[in-house]
Amino acid sequence: MILTGLGIGLLLASWAASGGGENHDGQTYRLAPVTQGSIKATVSSTGTLNPLNTVKVGSQVSGIIKALSVDFNSAVHRDQVIALIDPAFYEAQVEQARAQVLMARAQHEENQKNILTAEAAVESAVAQLNSAKATQHEAELKFQRFQSLDKEKVIAKADLDAALARRDNAQGALEVAQAQVKSARANLNRALAQNQGSKASIAQREAALHLAEIQLNYCTITSPIEGIVISRHVDVGQTVAASLQSPTLFTIAEDLARMQVEADVSEADVGQIQAGQPVEFTVDAFPEQKFKAEVRQVRNAASNVQNVVTYTIVADVQNDSLQLRPGMTANVTIVTAEVGDVLKVPNAALRFKPANESQDTSDRSRIPIRERPSFKKAVQDIGLDAAQTDQLESFVKNAGVKLKAAYALPEEQRDIPSAWKNFYTEINRNLYGILHSDQHEKFNTYIAELKASFEKRKSNKKIRPAEIYVLNEAGRPEVRNILAGVTDDAQTQIMTEELKAGDSVVIGIALDGDPAKKEKTNFFSTLMRR
């Protein structure tokens, strides 16, 4: 009994000294292990299944549907007759247009004859004009001869007057002949003009005939593509009116074996989506089956509904089984990133911040410089001796003072990326100055690897700096600077050399109702019950 009492006393003293399972600041923390596995980042949305190409077949002429050759779900070929509008009215218009063409051609032939008659009249008038010119010339010569004889007093005055009258008559006849030539030529020009008009009339009537034939051809409705009829909007005997707009008779999908999903994604998520990313979706008709797709297009046209901006994502779907039908609602999951065999922690570990924590990250508890994996890697890769290792530690401390000063600046004056760049540049420059000649090549290789790693991380837009906390030997949270990568709703990929699978990270503070804390605070009562 004495030994038992001493044991219990020692146990209680130890329990009191340890704060009942709590650290010296009175807090108990919830921990979670670092695990290794795969993470898949996704964006969820809803969309609609549609054929790649859907054609609405309409009618360009009005009339009564006389016959239908296809129905819903009918397979059609290109140029296949699928409907017929009663052509009687349009056939009559074609016959009327043909008659008009025949009349125009007959008028043209009549005008050709008139041209020949007018040309003959012109030739006759020209001949008469030549005869009148000769007669007038003869009369002028006689008058001049008689006028000379009259001066010599050898002829009678009556003969001179008669010669003058014959000359005037010949001149009048010449003028009449000239007028007849002009009239004949005017008639010829008129006949030629009428001939051109008849040619134009023929062209016009032939165009009207061609239009009537086109309208007659439009009475036969054919399929413009090869596909499947997914809807029919008319019945036999129904009248369609195409006076204002073309009525839709059928809707034909080009190929239901190849479809597309059109989903609306919010503007907050659209930046993560790119062409080529895999897509998984389900439909209500087959809730247990997952279908595959691939993002083909991220459309730039935005849709704003009640101040919610979304963008349309188009993904190609192979529907060889024809299970999927146009118009089905798809519950879409777009895989924006997927990694395997990586370290991951619960998302709560990245959100945790110790109570009353200073905003100055340089004041937080850090592992010693010599214990940091990055420091150990530099020493090992370059082959630093003890003296050089001490100097490297001094360089890191001095550069850290300047980094701390950068964090101490007001937030609007901070340039943290430049501060970290200067931090590494100063360390590497000073380190190079203390190296031996045989270490320069190793140093260059070490720097090249660092740059390659940095560029790889920089190219991955999902990688971002973050902080998580682990408990040190005193049970207090100690910060670890990491790079966070792909994340889903529960876990986040981390990249660090300071942690490995199985290590514990802080995800929160245990409350009074926390089972872990109850177990610790009731240890004595449990022991007494036992």
Mean pLDDT of 179-196: 92
Query: Would you call 57 helix, strand, or coil by DSSP?
Result: strand
16 CB-near residues (< 8 Å, 6+ apart):
none
In whole angstroms, how far apart are CA 439 and each of 160, 381, 429, 451, 473? 145, 10, 14, 18, 37
Question: Does residue 362 surpass a pLDDT of 70?
Answer: no
CATH code at position 231:
2.40.50.100
Pick from 503, 525, 354, 516: nearest CA to 36: 503
76 and 99 both lie in a single domain:
no
198 and 229 both lie in a single domain:
no
Residue 137 lies in a domain: yes
Question: Does residue 433 surpass a pLDDT of 50?
Answer: yes
Mean pLDDT of 82-96: 95
127 and 159 both lie in a single domain:
yes
The lowest-confidence range among 73-82, 155-164, 504-513 is: 504-513
112 and 202 both lie in a single domain:
yes
pLDDT value at residue 117: 92
Between β-strands 63-68 and 81-85, what pairing exists: parallel, antiparallel or unpaired?
Answer: antiparallel
pLDDT value at residue 463: 75
Which of 229, 251, 273 terminates a domain? The answer is 251
Residue 310 lies in a domain: no
Output phi, psi for 59, to 5 deg. Answer: -125, 135
Comparison of pLDDT for 3 and 64, the residue scoring more: 64
Pick from 213, 232, 214: nearest CA to 223: 232
Domain limits at 107? Answer: 89-212
pLDDT value at residue 18: 36
pLDDT value at residue 364: 45
144 and 193 both lie in a single domain:
yes
Residue 157 lies in a domain: yes
Q: Alpha-carbon distance 347 to 489, whole Å?
A: 8
Query: Would you call 364 helix, strand, or coil by DSSP?
Result: coil
198 and 226 both lie in a single domain:
no
Comparison of pLDDT for 401 and 296, the residue scoring more: 296
Residue 410 lies in a domain: no
Q: Alpha-carbon distance 403 to 416, whole Å?
A: 8
Q: What is the CA radius of gyration of the chain?
A: 53
Give residue 407's Cα distance to chain centre: 43
Question: Does residue 162 surpass a pLDDT of 90?
Answer: no
79 and 178 both lie in a single domain:
no
Comparison of pLDDT for 467 and 99, the residue scoring more: 99
Mean pLDDT of 382-406: 87
Question: Does residue 520 surpass a pLDDT of 60?
Answer: no
Pick from 98, 312, 42, 323: nearest CA to 210: 98
Query: How many domains does the chain divide into?
Result: 2
| Sheet (strand 220-222) strand order | 220-222, 81-85, 63-68, 239-240
Residue 243 lies in a domain: yes
- Segments of 457-503 assigned E as strands: 464-471, 477-487, 491-495
Centre a 10 Å sphere on the Cβ of residue 268 and count the other Cβ atoms it contains.
10
Mean pLDDT of 413-423: 79
Buried b (16+ CB within 10 A) or exposed e, 272-302: bbeeebbbbbbbeeeeeeebebebbebeeee
93 and 206 both lie in a single domain:
yes
Residue 64: what residue type? Answer: I
201 and 243 both lie in a single domain:
no
Pick from 71, 119, 24, 31: nearest CA to 476: 24
Q: Which two tokens stand for residue 85?
A: 């509008």
pTM of the full predicted structure? 0.59
118 and 156 both lie in a single domain:
yes
154 and 100 both lie in a single domain:
yes
Reported as half-sphere exposure (CB side, CA atoms, 13 A), residue 338 has a value of 9
Q: Which two tokens stand for residue 285?
A: 């008709």
Q: Alpha-carbon distance 290 to 110, whole Å?
A: 80
* DSSP label of 363: G
Residue 66 lies in a domain: yes
Residue 130 lies in a domain: yes
DSSP 185-216: HHHHHHHHHHHHHHHHHHHHHHHHHHHHHHHH
Residue 18 lies in a domain: no
Mean pLDDT of 377-400: 88
Centre a 10 Å sphere on the Cβ of residue 404 and count the other Cβ atoms it contains.
14
Instruction: Encode pLDDT of 207-238 as tens digits.
Output: 999 999 999 999 999 999 999 999 999 999 99
Which of 227, 251, 275 terminates a domain? The answer is 251
Instruction: Encode pLDDT of 104-153 as tens digits.
Output: 999 999 999 999 999 999 999 999 999 989 998 988 898 888 888 888 87
78 and 93 both lie in a single domain:
no
pLDDT value at residue 12: 40
Which of 188, 212, 236 terminates a domain? The answer is 212
Buried b (16+ CB within 10 A) or exposed e, 466-479: bebbbeeeebbbbb
pLDDT value at residue 7: 47
Question: Does residue 259 surpass a pLDDT of 80?
Answer: yes
Pick from 206, 196, 214: nearest CA to 101: 206
Q: Round the average pLDDT of the chain to a whole number and report it.
A: 84
502 CB-near residues (< 8 Å, 6+ apart):
33, 34
Comparison of pLDDT for 321 and 246, the residue scoring more: 321
pLDDT value at residue 20: 35
